Structure 1
Amino acid sequence: MLDNYIFQLVLFLAVILSSLFTLVLITLPSQYNICKENVETETDEKKLVSKGKTENKTVKAKQGKTVQVVVLGDIGRSPRMQYHAISIAKHGGSVQLIGYKESEIHPDIVFNPLIKIMPLTPSPSFLHSSSNLLFPIVAPLKALWQAFSLYYALGYETEPSRWMLVQNPPSIPTLAIAQLICFLRNTHLVIDWHNFGYSILAMKLGPNHPLVKIASLYENIFSRSAAFHFTVTHAMARVLSSSYGVTALPLHDRPAELFRPISWEQRKQFLSGLEQTKEYADEICESSSLHRSPGWKLIVSSTSWTADEDFSILLDALCAYSAAATSKVKLPKILAIITGKGPMKDYYLERVAALNQEKRLLNVVIQTAWLTPSDYALLLASADLGISLHTSSSGVDLPMKVVDMFGAGLPVVGWGKFEAWPELVKQDVNGKGFESSEQLCQQLVELFEDKDGKLLGKLKDGALEESKRRWDEEWDRVGGKLFKLT
């Protein structure tokens, strides 16, 4: 009797396991069909063009050139991944752009029939705590939420693709989920390295924290399973080769067509219409064109208001500059426009308010702005000087904001105390690097007290020369060849 019960139990378990295995096989994501490569299809789409008009346009999509572009972050705040999508579509590739849809997306993406946006479901608000104490609890829960939503989006809400281009960081859980989906769907994984995820985590928890060590090992292991790699600098490619044993193709950031120098008339018109600058527009333009002193100078800094961009450096420098302008009457006043969103914004705005009450910013006006991409590009083209506070957690990444500033012909001073900085900024040619708030203040004084404008003019000429180097040329040379589109 006992043997009969055991036999029935084993048979029941076998049926259950067999059913589960069959269910898993049936519900696995569909695979990419390599037989579709090099086949072109024509689709008639209505595409929005200038001034709200529409036109019928026949678009040829190369079915074998399908790419999923994945960013586990806000698509609108990931310009490089947007530029990837635009470049792939320009060459007839079909793009599925996967990420969070929180801010405005580039219009060349929104109205491109070859690019489909697949929004990810955001995690619940209680998983967004910035507390270091709760981090070991909240971080795994958030990673699990992201892992499930990303797996479902990549495996079931999207069509299988030939390539999957993934932004790193964040690496957890992105790289593991991406590799699993690529294995199941017969897709080639390409990692686009913007930085190292563990180095950013180390800024929050410290380099010796167990989670940082786990993140470093995780990133190392999953990087080896990718088919190809892009990096934003040669320095990062060198680190990947020496530490991870993988070969990467450096693909430097370059500005999109949106970022271009503008005429004096365009500048005055824009500054006169922007809420933050209209009060000072005439004096800014006169100071720049006729080198009148003291006048006003417009500086711009774009920040994510996070720990890897220490805004206090700029605040301390502006306080020191204000004091110098009190004793040096030839120094112009400064209007500083700070753009961007981030977790530490309110903290620094409170500091700015306190400094104003203490009368330490008498010759400086600090304003914040969140602009559309087109207005942000015009602001950069209208400024006298750009400021970069990016300190680089790894030492081998570069700030995209400087690339955009150069695209607009705007000279830059920025934190230059990291290895990759010289790959982007040529000292005293198109910009300057500083390593302290005192040095930044000194640079502002030197550039702005020169009434003939020769020092700033030299950097301006260098930035204008740098503006000629564009994303399309760089991408076609590296990305286009990898995806076999050029």
Structure 2
Amino acid sequence: MWLVVFVATPLLIFVAIAGTLLTLPSVYGPFDVGHFSEDDFTADDKKDADRSGYAFFSKHKDSNGKLRTDVTVQVVVLGDIGRSPRMQYHALSIASHGGKVNLIGYVESDVHPDLLANRYINIIPITPFPKFLQTSNKLLFLLLAPFKIAWQTWNLYYTLGYRSEATKWMLVQNPPSIPTLIVAQFICFYRHTLLVIDWHNLGYSILAMRLGTDHKLVKYAERYESYWGSGATANFTVTNAMAKVLEQKWGIQATALHDRPPKYFQPLSAKHRSEFLRRLPETAEYVSDIDGKAWRLLVSSTSWTQDEDFSLLLDALVAYSTAIDGDQTLPKILAIITGKGPQKDHYLSQIRRLNQEGKLSNVLINTAWLSAKDYAALLGSADLGVSLHTSSSGVDLPMKVVDMFGAGLPVVGWSKFEAWPELVQEGKNGRGFESADGLADLLRELFGAGGQKLHELRSGAVKESERRWEDEWMPVAGKLFALRP
């Protein structure tokens, strides 16, 4: 019965949308050009000219004191904007070159402060699915899925079509594919907007992690994604491997736009590192031990979801703690885990149990949720970064590793997927592992012998930090949108 309901729901949604599409308030036309003038900027904007966009306005305004906004873009993510760094970077890059942006998504956590400061960016929140109906239970997930899809479809459609003016371009994050792609295609068709899909992963592969690859809903999701993912004006992917899969699997032509760190991720000097660690509550009392290398600071950013097996890190830290009992030359570890997500409470209970059993006597694990600025400073202060991203599709990459490299932080990460070599040069700026034992061995190897091998990896990571987001973005996305340099 539930399968019938699930299949019928998109059809009902289709009929409802088709009946109301003609009432969309406006469509995009070739003469829909906006302007910015002096009056659009406050005195504070003019003092902080780079962040507000006033510097670009001053440079490019015409003889009448106005700046034409030929490029308008809806940047869409059916997820939390604050936890979607790549889409935030897209918005900032478009705005920094004079494009007007409506950034659309859930506002559930703090967004990057530069988004709020920039006058070319307007954040339009989507009403989220009620929290009391959200569940990790598989049966309840299946029962509630049709209602969640209906809720998301209407709210996304209403936000794109009625709360945001028609734009020349729409840049959509995928996944989630359902219902994002079908709604985006309809809105773009009827409003004469050009659609660009930014492929972060394959949506059906994430669903398969929860339901299994042979589940009927996964098969349906794959067909849906292949159909509605076709027909966009352009497609970006996070890896070359993903672009290749899209072409071979679904005939979709895509251009790789690799993640690179923005400017605010930077290596820290020893002085600034100590100052930050003394300010951060999770590290304040351990600064002298970290500076003296009696403790090593390890950082891992996680979304606490199924595509990141946090038990790998816990098992490795237990093994490392035991190893210190037999080798007193090894330093202790302070591990800071950042992020929010559905499985956080589950793993926190495991950490408490391990502490009670005395299995983490030489390791301290703290969790934190930090501002963008403090997160960047934490990466710049750490000794080693850990990525637990396992990749549901095998062709996506964790952006957290890119951010770590931006801060000059060497990385160890789960490497058992095809796209890993596109990001990490084994033995030069990072190391890969395929098991908890493998990670434990790497921790002993990198933290032992005075940290010589860790120092070598750091040199490679600092070199990697020279490659920045704007350098990758402008020749690909900037060229497509025809933005001014």
TM-score higher than 0.5 here? yes
Please tell me whether residue 237 in structure 1 is matched to residue 282 in structure 2: no
Identity %: 59
Q: Structure 2 residue aligned with 1:190, among 193, 196, 218?
A: 196
Other-structure match for 2:153: 147
Q: How does 1:94-105 map to 2 (within 5 A)?
A: 94-105=100-111
**Counterparts of 2:47 and 2:333, CA distance in 1:** 36
**Counterparts of 2:52 and 2:151, CA distance in 1:** 41
What amino acid is aligned across from residue 183 of structure 1 in structure 2? F
Other-structure match for 1:4: none
Partner SS state of residue 301, structure 1: strand
Deviations 1:173-222 (Å, cap 9, x if unpaired)?
A: 00000000000100000000000110000000000111100100000001
Compute the displacement of 1:35 (Å). Answer: 2.3
Q: Structure 1 residues 279 and 344, CA, compared in 2 at 3 Å: closer, same or farther?
A: same
Please report the TM-score for the alignment, with normalisation by the length of structure 1.
Answer: 0.91
**Counterparts of 2:272 and 2:446, CA distance in 1:** 24
Other-structure match for 2:349: 350
**Counterparts of 2:47 and 2:272, CA distance in 1:** 19
Compute the displacement of 1:48 (Å). Answer: 4.7
Q: Structure 1 residues 469 and 113, CA, compared in 2 at 3 Å: closer, same or farther?
A: same
Contact 1:127 1:141 in 2 (8 A): no
**Counterparts of 1:198 and 1:341, CA distance in 2:** 23
Q: How does 1:303-318 map to 2 (within 5 A)?
A: 303-318=302-317
Other-structure match for 1:91: 97
Contact 1:46 1:55 in 2 (8 A): no
**Counterparts of 1:46 and 1:450, CA distance in 2:** 56
Other-structure match for 2:439: 440
Other-structure match for 1:360: 359
Q: Structure 1 residues 217 and 383, CA, compared in 2 at 3 Å: closer, same or farther?
A: same
Please tell me whether residue 269 in structure 1 is matched to residue 275 in structure 2: yes
Contact 1:46 1:56 in 2 (8 A): no
Compute the displacement of 1:42 (Å). Answer: 2.8
Deviations 1:312-348 (Å, cap 9, x if unpaired)?
A: 0000000000010000010000000000011111111
What amino acid is aligned across from residue 98 of structure 2 in structure 1? G
Other-structure match for 1:301: 300
Other-structure match for 2:375: 376
Q: How does 1:444-459 map to 2 (within 5 A)?
A: 444-451=443-450, 453-459=451-457
Contact 1:334 1:363 in 2 (8 A): yes
What amino acid is aligned across from residue 27 of structure 2 in structure 1? Q
**Counterparts of 2:177 and 2:43, CA distance in 1:** 35
Please tell me whether residue 422 in structure 1 is matched to residue 421 in structure 2: yes
- RMSD over aligned Cα atoms: 2.1
Contact 1:272 1:279 in 2 (8 A): yes
Partner SS state of residue 133, structure 1: helix
Q: Structure 1 residues 62 and 223, CA, compared in 2 at 3 Å: closer, same or farther?
A: farther
Partner SS state of residue 134, structure 1: helix
Other-structure match for 1:465: 463
Compute the displacement of 1:91 (Å). Answer: 0.7
Partner SS state of residue 190, structure 1: strand
What amino acid is aligned across from residue 42 of structure 1 in structure 2? S
Other-structure match for 1:291: none
Q: Structure 1 residues 56 and 250, CA, compared in 2 at 3 Å: closer, same or farther?
A: closer
**Comparing 319-328 and 51-60, the one that deviates more:** 51-60
**Counterparts of 2:168 and 2:384, CA distance in 1:** 43
Larger radius of gyration: 1
Contact 2:52 2:119 in 1 (8 A): no
Partner SS state of residue 191, structure 1: strand
**Counterparts of 2:132 and 2:286, CA distance in 1:** 42
Other-structure match for 1:42: 37
Compute the displacement of 1:55 (Å). Answer: 8.9
Q: Structure 1 residues 408 and 47, CA, compared in 2 at 3 Å: closer, same or farther?
A: farther
Deviations 1:17-36 (Å, cap 9, x if unpaired)?
A: xxx9xx95862341101124
Q: Structure 1 residues 50 and 323, CA, compared in 2 at 3 Å: closer, same or farther?
A: farther
What amino acid is aligned across from residue 463 of structure 2 in structure 1? E
Q: Structure 1 residues 369 and 26, CA, compared in 2 at 3 Å: closer, same or farther?
A: closer
Other-structure match for 1:28: 24
**Counterparts of 2:477 and 2:425, CA distance in 1:** 25
Deviations 1:68-127 (Å, cap 9, x if unpaired)?
A: 000000001000000000000111100000001111111111010000000111122233
Contact 1:99 1:119 in 2 (8 A): yes
**Counterparts of 2:52 and 2:459, CA distance in 1:** 40
Other-structure match for 1:408: 407
Q: Structure 1 residues 264 and 450, CA, compared in 2 at 3 Å: closer, same or farther?
A: same
Q: How does 1:275-286 map to 2 (within 5 A)?
A: 275-286=281-292
Equivalenced residue count is 458
Q: Structure 1 residues 372 and 47, CA, compared in 2 at 3 Å: closer, same or farther?
A: farther
Contact 1:47 1:111 in 2 (8 A): no
Contact 2:52 2:117 in 1 (8 A): no
Contact 2:53 2:95 in 1 (8 A): no
**Counterparts of 1:25 and 1:389, CA distance in 2:** 43
Compute the displacement of 1:450 (Å). Answer: 1.5
Other-structure match for 2:215: 209
Contact 2:78 2:180 in 1 (8 A): yes
**Counterparts of 1:157 and 1:412, CA distance in 2:** 42
Q: Structure 1 residues 436 and 47, CA, compared in 2 at 3 Å: closer, same or farther?
A: farther
**Counterparts of 1:215 and 1:300, CA distance in 2:** 35
